[in-house]
A and B are shown apart, each in its own frame.
Chain A
Amino acid sequence: SQKIEQNSEALNIQEGKTATLTCNYTNYSPAYLQWYRQDPGRGPVFLLLIRENEKEKRKERLKVTFDTTLKQSLFHITASQPADSATYLCALDMGGGYQKVTFGTGTKLQVIP
């Protein structure tokens, strides 16, 4: 069955540094991959989508890469700020013709001032 793993349950970094989160998947070749942010007590909020034919996508301080050979996506936050502290979820479509987005277990990022 499809497995989506985010390499760290928690990641602590100093303010101003670049945070790098990893998402690995097995047994499937998704057409796209998404990243979401979730704050405590709230629903996930969409951040970025990257398709299988795209190597990299950027949005402000966020950058996502997608390596379909390695079956891996990296999510970077540059110049991190305490306000970036949250849980970040990667998600991919299980396919079958309908959008069946499956989420990884998330990485809780803490940016220390």
Chain B
Amino acid sequence: DTAVSQTPKYLVTQMGNDKSIKCEQNLGHDTMYWYKQDSKKFLKIMFSYNNKELIINETVPNRFSPKSPDKAHLNLHINSLELGDSAVYFCASSQGWGPQGEKLFFGSGTQLSVL
């Protein structure tokens, strides 16, 4: 059983389209995240949710809208896709969200290519 699973693995689409990436974790964790890894492999946090509530929003364009229907799911919807959105998007989860330090469990990533 995959702990953090995200779909699709690959997403190729045209500029201007709207697309969604889904993420589910079966670890019973309270906190979920979206990270973006660019072509230089720099991994940057986008959003964090704790028990369906948004707790971190890292100045991401409002074309990106995360949705957490329950604490096991965190989806990412992207409107009006741009070339610069091409990257690998990773979903992750952790037991908690506090400053005591929690290890992150990552999905295998969604490679988004905007043409």
Contacts and interface: CB of A to CB of B under 8 A. Distances in A.
A105 B31 CA distance: 24
A113 interface: no
Contact of A100 (B41, B42, B56, B100): B56
A93 B43 contact: no
Interface residues of A, number: 26
Of B4, B43, B45, B109, chain A has the most CB atoms within 10 Å of the CB of: B43
B84 interface: no
Of A36, A97, A101, A103, chain B has the most CB atoms within 10 Å of the CB of: A101
B48 A93 contact: no
B73 to A, nearest CB: 17
A42 B94 contact: no
Interface string B48-76: 10100001101000000000000000000
B96 A43 contact: no
B71 to A, nearest CB: 15
Interface string A15-50: 000000000000000011010100001111110010
A64 interface: no
B30 to A, nearest CB: 11
Nearest to B42: A105
B41 A99 contact: no
Nearest to A51: B101
A44 B43 contact: yes
Contacts of A65: none
Nearest to A108: B41
19 contacts: A32-B101, A34-B104, A36-B104, A43-B4, A43-B107, A44-B43, A44-B106, A46-B105, A49-B103, A87-B41, A89-B43, A93-B99, A93-B101, A97-B98, A98-B55, A100-B48, A102-B45, A103-B44, A105-B42
